Structure 1
Amino acid sequence: MSAIEQLFKRKQKNVLNVYCTAGYPQLHSTTEVIKALQDGGADIIELGMPYSDPLADGEVIQASSTVALQNGMSIATLFEQLKDIRNTVQLPIILMGYMNPVLQFGIEKFCAAAKAVGVDGVILPDLPMYEFETMYKSLFEQNGLDFIFLVTPETSEERIRKIDSLCSGFIYAVSSSSTTGKNKAIADQESYFKKLQDMQLKNPVLVGFGIKDKASFTTASRYTNGAIIGTAYIKALENSTHIGQTTKEFLNRILG
């Protein structure tokens, strides 16, 4: 049983996955942010691998990626930073990014390196389902990496069930067909969340895009297993002079 599966076996509701951009706000901030999120009460850490053309990300996360790249962050640097992370961090860690830099790094090399440093799962939104199934699924499985797919309100029930059969860890339910950080009302999507609940999928479901405070986290968690917060946390880090304190205060506002 993977670390993500163990988490959802232990905790079925109000699971909080927090996204942060590796190498932001400073190149060396990655491990400090991860430890602060663990100490602050997050359940899963989703580490963004910065990329120059992130299709699913809104302006705030795009800007954080730009800063991280300017800081010198790369996939190789990230794995170097994570090599001792399991000495202090027990939470599931997911890498989120895009296919181009992963292919440039070498996907077999990427999966092996992720396994070596203790990464638990991967999100690559621009990897087509067919290519994953026919070319890469076994590679992720061999390295003990859960692979997480995204679904949207427009995704057909047939496709959702196909995704549910292929992925592991959890399903990432995008709250609306937009980019991260858009101020779409989460409450307007409750029928979509309930539909996912009624489908009785084998994988847990976490809601992302537009989760920014306690109210939106609570609403998203009503019909699902929890939610993912990214843009609001990146904003909190933007002008932070003390990552630990900023993270603690931010998570208290969500969970307290």
Structure 2
Amino acid sequence: MPKAGLILAALGLMGLSLNATAQSVGHITLASTTSTENSGLFDAIIPAFTEATGIEVRVVSVGTGQAFEIARRGDADALLVHDTRGEEQFVADGWASERADVMVNDFVVVGPDDDPAGIREAADVTEAFARIAEAQASFASRGDDSGTHRAELRLWESAGVEPDGAWYRELGSGMGPTLNTAAAMDAYVMADRATWVAFDNRQNLALLFEGDEALFNQYGSLLLDPGRHPHLKHDLAERWHRWLLSEEGQRAIAGFEVKGQQLFFPNASR
């Protein structure tokens, strides 16, 4: 190869090496909910973040309660969950230094298409839950201390019902497996809309109740407190947090669709 060609080739290799170094910023571990993972949201938005920052995001998909526990142990750099009360308490207890609204969707109540409890005619979701309990119709609960499970328990409380007995099944599983079990049992179940839309094994299940304000489902991003776990990658986690709240991050969330439906609606609190 001519000398000029060797020089150009060497410069090209140096450029590739420098570019790779610039892109290899590192990674963070994100503890988040099964709904964000099962729906495919992260597969859609994380590559855009990584391309913009060089930071890889490794997701641990668990219920919100488990995500809090992982963060308390110092095993996650960032949190994206959906239990506003729990998140605010997490900040008040000193585990997180900041919480911000990121996006919203809603819960829906799904059940057998013949609707033995008659919840299609319910005036609100509290009445829908009361009808299910009165009919002792099979209900599949996640039972896993997730954001969805916490919201479900608040609705039973509003209905004046303490769910118990053979009709009420606490599964201790994520949203996808819970929907699978509900489909096999012909049972009612409360699900986040995103996972329901992405769910294909519906069998006899149908969406029976939606639209009540009590089914509003807010997601929040939390910055963990550096004083609790100094070893965490707080600088990289903050870049993820700020990106979610940025115009670019909010556009990425708004652009995510499944089966032609937008599943998460950005509502960042900056």
Name the TM-score, length of structure 1 as normaliser: 0.26
Looking at secondary structure, tell me which structure has more strand per residue: 2
For the pair shown, the structure with the greater C-alpha radius of gyration is 2
Looking at secondary structure, tell me which structure has more helix per residue: 1
Name the TM-score, length of structure 2 as normaliser: 0.25
